[in-house]
Structure 1
Amino acid sequence: MRFLLPIVMLLLSACSNLPVAIKEAPSPDWQLSQVATQAEQHKGDSIRWGGQVVKVENDDNGSTIHVVQFPLNSFGRPDSDGVSQGRFLIHSDSFIDPYIYKAGTLITVAGIVKNKETVTIDKKSMSLPVVTATQLYRWSKNDYSRDPYWRGHPYYYDPFAYGPYYGPGLRPSWRYYDGYYW
């Protein structure tokens, strides 16, 4: 029984490295679709949004991150398989390294709605909400929530795959799916 305590403590602290602003949504939890149409009315409101980085622009005034929004799961991690509500911009006074926050990186931002800015995407002009970042969190690719075992994927881990439980030629085939060999 004594050996269970460290395991329980480890499991309870699994998400404790996340900042509180990323783990917990502000109240009220404004969604991008609500703010995008009326950004002037939501100026100064706290938000928590996430998505996938499109690009990072740096200049003398700071950095701007272009993000495609995706819905957040219960940990505050963007679900890139979800339906996007559009795009938004994150402004930071500090330098954001485009190598670390390269295109395709999943991020979650907690911040304040600043204003709207018109940007050109391909040949179309769009007016996007701008968020001043108070907390920015970059998600790792090895995050367990992307593991197919936790997502109920059909190629889940088989604990009997290496034992004598399968006869000759009956072992499961290994497949590469979603970044994992199964």
Structure 2
Amino acid sequence: MKAYLLLCCVLLTACSSLPPAISDPPHYDLSYSEASQNLTKYKNAPVRWGGVIVDVANEENRSLIQILSYPLSSQGRPLTDQPHQGRFVISSPEFLDPAVYEKDTQITVAGMLAGEIDRTVDKKVLHLPLLSLTALHLWPDYTNNPMYGSYGTYNAYYGYPGWGGAFYRPIFFPPPR
């Protein structure tokens, strides 16, 4: 019996698709607003932030992604229905393809607060927090997926797809009123 329980635990932990740095926040989860008020105090602090990609710039030795910051859910996904907190930039020594990391994609990153960087938005120069990247996760877009309804969220009326609810009623019809 213990062997079956151990096997189940191993299989369930293998199903997690998030990197551990994304799924588990740092011991002290430093918020964006705290860090942006005093960047020198929190230099080299581990952070887990997320938001929506605004811009990708590839330089000779690094790639920079500018992100519009949003608060995170308990799973680490950006809560884009909340007000945004500002912008930050992540730096990676690897090439990050703008075709993969495209604008308006939700992303969660983990890294170390490396200081600040100046970025020009329109004609205004902003001093933004800079993170040296440890891990990142791009979130899938469910807005046009009929399995998740027309509102981009899971439609609980039909039950879990593959657990019986989707087999008894077509999932692309709206619920009766």
TM-score normalised per structure 2: 0.76
Q: Report which of the two structures shows the higher radius of gyration computed on alpha carbons.
A: 1
SS of residue in 1 equivalent to 2:34: helix
1:47 offset after TM fit, Å? 0.1
Deviations 1:102-150 (A, max 9, x none): 0011111000000111211112221110000011111122499x94599
Per the TM alignment, residue 95 of structure 1 is displaced from its structure 2 partner at its CA by 0.4
Q: Could you tell me how far apart the structure 2 residues matched to 1:113 and 1:147 are?
A: 36
From the two aligned structures, give the one with the greater helix fraction: 2
Secondary structure of 1:21's counterpart equals helix
> 2:77 is matched with which residue?
77
Structure 2 counterpart of 1:157: 158
Please report how far the alpha carbon of residue 156 of structure 1 lies from its aligned counterpart in structure 2 after TM superposition. Answer: 3.8
Give the SS at the match of 1:53.
strand
Q: Which consecutive aligned stretches of 4+ in structure 1 deviate over 2 angstroms post-superposition? A: 11-15, 146-153, 155-162
Alpha-carbon distance in 2 for matches of 1:135, 1:100? 16
Helix, strand or coil at the partner of 1:40: coil
Structure 1, residues 36-55: CA drift from partner, whole Å, max 9, x if none? 11111111000000111011
Instruction: Give me the whole-angstrom Cα distance separating, in 2, the residues matched to 1:14 and 1:74.
Output: 20
**Deviations along 1:78-114, whole A, 9 cap, x unmatched?**
1211221111000001100000000011111000000
Paired position in structure 2 for 1:43: 43
For structure 1, the 5+ residue unaligned runs are 163-172, 176-182
C-alpha distance in 2 between matches for 1:27 and 1:141: 29
- Distance in 2, matches of 1:56 and 1:108, equals 15
CA RMSD of aligned residues (A): 3.2
Corresponding residue of 2:162: none
Pairs within 5 Å for 1:42-61: 42-61=42-61
Opposite residue 37 of structure 2, the aligned amino acid is T
Structure 2 unaligned residues grouped into runs of 5+ = 160-164
Q: Which residue number in structure 1 is paired with residue 29 of structure 2? A: 29
2:140, 2:101 → 1: CA distance? 11
- 2:108 partner amino acid: T
Q: How many residues align?
A: 158
TM-score (norm 1): 0.74
User: Aligned partners of 1:77, 1:152: CA distance in 2, in Å?
Assistant: 15
